Amino acid sequence: MTDLRKHFPITSGMLRRQVAAVKAVDDISFSVRKGETLGVVGESGCGKTTTGRMIMRLLEPSAGKIVFEGHDITHMKQRQLRPLRRDIQMIFQDPYSSLNPRHTVGAIVGAPFRLQKVKTEGGIKKAVQEILELVGLNPEHYNRYPHEFSGGQRQRIGVARTLALRPKLIVADEPVSALDVSIQAQVVNLLEDLQDEFGLTYVVIAHDLSVVRHIADRVAVMYLGKIVELADRTSLYESPMHPYTNALLSAVPVPDPDKRKGRERIRLQGDVPSPLNPPPACRFHTRCWKAQEICKTVEPPMVELKPGHQTACHFPENAPAGAAETVAKSA
Ligand code: SF4
């Protein structure tokens, strides 16, 4: 993904003239490596779900480029996208609303086969039953309906539907946030097992940093339509450089309070500003306790300050010596 933007126009009058735009995603770039899990985190409204929907091409980007396995899919027509739908699939947040209550499990999980016309009816039943077993359900659940299952089992049905066509990339949008905490770990473990078995690549979108910590290899932190930090998991969780990441991490509960030493809870002031009219330069400056004059006038560039660890801040924390000078030179 390069220089990706999604601006939703606000129009007015009979002629529907554009008068403003909601800058849901505003110039972000990142890549996802084969076989890895990239976590995308941030508060609600930061643009993470819009990003996931653009990767799926459920939304067309306003600008920028999406390349999947060497193919530029940014503006492909739906007909051209059809073969790619096998390779890129999505797990939705809510296992209650994402499954049609009038369809049996067999119809739901078998739908991708029917849409892509890749199997006979007999073949579909056998394949669906095999997938149900893979995700920890009973093949005899084939003729049952979603309301007969618990939340965790429903999410397993959603995962089974996603797996039907053996995709390469799965975008999981808040895959466990609608589930009880006791069930979340089971679904996370299932996703990890399936990744090992099928070599899947995941983009996991979440507001909960503790979920991403368990599953992600690398993590991108978004704020108001921008990626503000991107790093491998250990570096991001142990030495976050962007003040916003630091604030998010300080809010994650820890079982042993002694382990929080040196990381007091940071309470951010105010609400996230509107993406209709985001603050200039560093978008976080209205809430950042480290903000200085330059933060209000010069947008901090995304700079790699340690191998594999990039951030966009004029005054990064936990950064190696000379980091501020490196940022200043890049700005
Ligand atoms: Fe805070 Fe300035 Fe860094 Fe923005 S650039 S996060 S305002 S210190």
As a three-state string, the secondary structure of 141-204 is HHHCCHHHCCHHHHHHHHHHHHHCCCCCEEEEECCCCCCCHHHHHHHHHHHHHHHHHHCCEEEE
Ligand 1 atom nearest to CA at 314: 5
Other C-beta atoms within 10 Å of 252: how many? 14
Which residues, including other chains, have CB under 8 Å from residue 56's CB and lie 6 or more apart?
A: 88, 90, 171
Phi-psi region of 39 (alpha: psi -120 to 50; beta: other; left: phi over 0): beta
As a three-state string, the secondary structure of 33-87 is CCCCEEEEECCCCCCHHHHHHHHCCCCCCCEEECEECCEECCCCCHHHHHHHHHH
CA of 24 to the centre of ligand 1 (A): 20
CA of 293 to the centre of ligand 1 (A): 10
pLDDT tens for the 331 residues of the chain, in order? 999 999 999 988 887 888 889 999 999 999 999 999 999 999 988 999 999 999 999 999 999 999 999 999 999 988 888 888 889 999 988 777 889 999 999 999 999 888 887 888 888 999 999 999 999 999 999 999 999 999 999 999 999 999 999 999 999 999 998 888 889 999 999 999 999 999 999 999 999 888 899 899 999 999 999 999 999 999 999 999 999 999 999 988 776 666 666 668 888 888 889 999 999 999 999 999 999 999 999 999 999 999 999 999 999 998 888 877 888 888 7
Q: Give, for ligand 1, the residue of 223, 268, 310, 315 to mutate: max count of ligand atoms closer than 8 Å to Cβ.
A: 315
- What residues are in contact with ligand 1 under a 6 Å CB criterion? 242-243, 282, 284-285, 288, 290-291, 295, 300, 313-315
Three-state secondary-structure class, residue 278? coil
Pairing type for strands 88-91 and 169-173 reads parallel
The continuous run of DSSP H or E covering 230 comes out as strand 226-232
Q: What are phi and psi of 293, to 5 degrees?
A: -55, -45
CA of 37 to the centre of ligand 1 (A): 28
CA of 285 to the centre of ligand 1 (A): 6
Ligand 1 atom nearest to CA at 300: 5
Reported ipTM: 0.99
Closest CA to 192 of 221, 220, 212, 166: 212
Ligand 1 atom nearest to CA at 244: 6
